Structure formats: C-alpha cells, structure tokens
A = this chain, B = another copy of it.
C-alpha cells in the first residue's frame, strides 16, 4: 500500500468519516464567553480531548486500520509512536480484533507504557541509539508482515484527521478561520483539505510551538526544514512535516503562528480554569496563537481544534 504523492481529496475524507463513524465519537463543539471576551473573537472549540484515547489521533488510526484488506489486517499493524498515535493504533487494532505492535524507547514514561499496554498492544522497547526504533520496527515487520502506520505522513491517517474539521464545519457555519495545531502536519493537512472543500471562504491557519517551528520555517523557505529534537512542552508537536503533509499545507494554509512556551502554558491554564476541561499542552497552542496575535482574530468567527487531553496530572506545567 503506497499512497505517497497521491493527495487526499474531500471524497476520501468523507469516506473516512463513514468508515470511522461506528467507532469514533462525534465530539462536541463548546463555546466560552470568558475566552471570547479575552480574545475579542468568537471561538468554537472542537473538543477532540473528548475523542477515544483522548485525542484526534484515533480518527486517523481508526481510518487506516479499518481500510486494511482482511489479509493485511490479520498480520497486524505497527507504529513507533509512544504518544497518542500509539494508543490510537492500539485501540483501533483491538476494535478490529488484530494485533498491534508498538515500538517505544526503553526510557518512555511509565504513563505512556501503561496507556498503550492498556489498549492491548504488544510493546517492544528499543534502545536510544540513532535509528534504533526504525531498526526494531523493520525487524518486526519482517517477522510479522504487519502494516506500518506513520503518525502523520500517511494518506489514510490524514483523511481520518480531516474528519474533525469536517464535523466542525458541518455544525458551525460561516467560520472565518479554522486553526488546529501543527506538528507532523497530519491534522493540519486533513483540516486544510476538508475546510477548503466544504467552506471555501474559511481560512485555515495553524499554531506551532516557537521551539518546534519547522512548519513555519518550511513555509517561509518553500521546502521542508525539519526541527532537530525540539524540547517544547507541547510533546505532540515535536515531529516535523513530511513529504505528503508539506505540499498540502503549502497549498491550503494561509498562515502559521508560532507560540512561546510561556504562552502555551498560559493558554492551557485559561482553558482549564474557564472552560473546565482538561487539554494537553499541544492542544493549547492554537488558543495561545490567538492570544499572541489578537489583531489577526479579533471580531472573527474562529474554529479552534483542541487536539487532545492526555496530561500527567502529577506534573502540571504551572506547578
């Protein structure tokens, strides 16, 4: 299965929406007068923190897993993400009744090991040597014939991620801007395709951590310039764009705003305090972008994608 260079269309996203409907939540869209007052904009929050496994990642993983032929499916799926994508692949595989292999570094936090194991995946630990996880993945693929599912630079994953914005645009009309966060670009590229097709007057923007600003720099340079091991608190956004996500973003995304670590933490805290919902640092980046660049959003109807809510409650960034 090689979809590289073949770009998803709105029809692919609509098919993904049908495919995942029995398994994924149609998440609610929340509003908050306090945050509207604070930003001067009218904000509509698409709450993917309420999605299965606590993140939008379930949409893409679910679409990919349920697209496999029965023959491929029985061999299982594999990924090397220890974060939300790993949990999402594990749950999607369990729902289809097939094996999931997740490769993670020995030193991954216990909370992540527990989450992925809790969804029934088989974990294989890799050393911290360069390319160790790729080598380990390669070995397991050779042994099992499992299908590798990249967290972002993958046709079916992008289509799945685009279903969140599709739902948002169906529910809230006349949005002037839709803004997700950007890491590897799976959510942003899926959002861009969905929004530009179903709501062509809506601009797609993105929020990105200053400390992992490869998408911002790549758009400026007109070519992919990856970040080198960035340590932003927004741990879901440390990966860089890929050769599938970058051209989609180049074509459809109007502007990327970088956000300081301090502003990410402040935005996250405000959402917890005023909206009474738990979001992870990555999910706070778009609202951080809005607070950092109020003149770009003031007076506008803005759809904000809250990407996830998986946080270690014993280690909150403001404590």
Chain A positions within 8 Å of B, measured between CB atoms, are 28, 30, 49-50, 54, 269, 272-273, 275-279, 309, 313-314, 316, 318-319
Contacts and interface: CB of A to CB of B under 8 A. Distances in A.
Copies of this chain assembled into the complex: 2
Given A313-B318, A316-B313, A318-B314, A272 B276 contact: no
A155 to B, nearest CB: 29
B316 A276 contact: no
A49 B316 contact: no
A273 B313 contact: yes
Contacts of A316: 313, 316, 319
Q: Which 5 A-B pairs have CB atoms at the shortest separation, nearest pair first? A: A276-B309, A276-B278, A49-B276, A277-B277, A272-B278
Contacts of A319: 314, 316, 319
A273 B54 CA distance: 9
A3 B129 CA distance: 75
A28 to B, nearest CB: 7
A56 B44 CA distance: 23
Nearest to A279: B276
18 contacts: A28-B28, A30-B50, A49-B276, A50-B275, A50-B276, A269-B313, A272-B313, A273-B278, A276-B277, A277-B277, A277-B278, A278-B278, A313-B316, A313-B318, A314-B318, A314-B319, A316-B316, A316-B319
A318 B319 CA distance: 12
A313 B271 CA distance: 12
A96 to B, nearest CB: 18
Given A28-B28, A319-B319, A276 B54 contact: yes
Most B CB atoms within 10 A — which of A276, A278, A279, A313?
A276
Contacts of A277: 276-278
Contacts of A49: 276
A213 to B, nearest CB: 28
Contacts of A314: 318-319
Nearest to A268: B313
A319 B313 CA distance: 8
A30 B277 CA distance: 13
A144 B316 CA distance: 45
